Amino acid sequence: MLSHFLLMVVYALLVSLFFTTLWRRERRAQIVLFLQLFLGMVGGGLIVAWLMYPFPPGPPAPIP
């Protein structure tokens, strides 16, 4: 459950389903919006992750 990618997918799934139900009534429009939101979030996250890949990680944050 602590996989970063899995958590991102679950989060994107929840938020996409929420806004799809909130904003659209027709089935076809719901599917289109769901795919746009879900793939946008997951794909956007992966793109940002790859853009950050060349940067070296900093020291771990201290636990207060």
Partner 1 sequence: MADTASPEVPPAPSPSQDAQAAQPLPAAQAVMAVALAWLVPGLGHLYLKRVARGVIFFLLVIVAIGIGCGLQGNLYRPMQGQWLTYLATFGEIGMGVPYFVLRYGLRYEGQQEAAGFEYGTAFLLTAGLMNLLLVLDAWDIASGQKE
By the criterion CB under 8 A, which residues form the site for partner 1?
1-2, 7, 10-11, 14-15, 17-18, 21-22, 25, 63-64
The least CB distance from residue 49 to partner 1, in Å, is 15
Comparison of 27 and 54: residue with beta carbon closer to partner 1: 27
Comparison of 52 and 54: residue with beta carbon closer to partner 1: 52
Residue 16's alpha-carbon distances to 13, 21, 42, 53, 63, in angstroms, are 5, 9, 11, 27, 33
Residue 19's alpha-carbon distances to 1, 30, 56, in angstroms, are 24, 9, 36
The least CB distance from residue 26 to partner 1, in Å, is 12
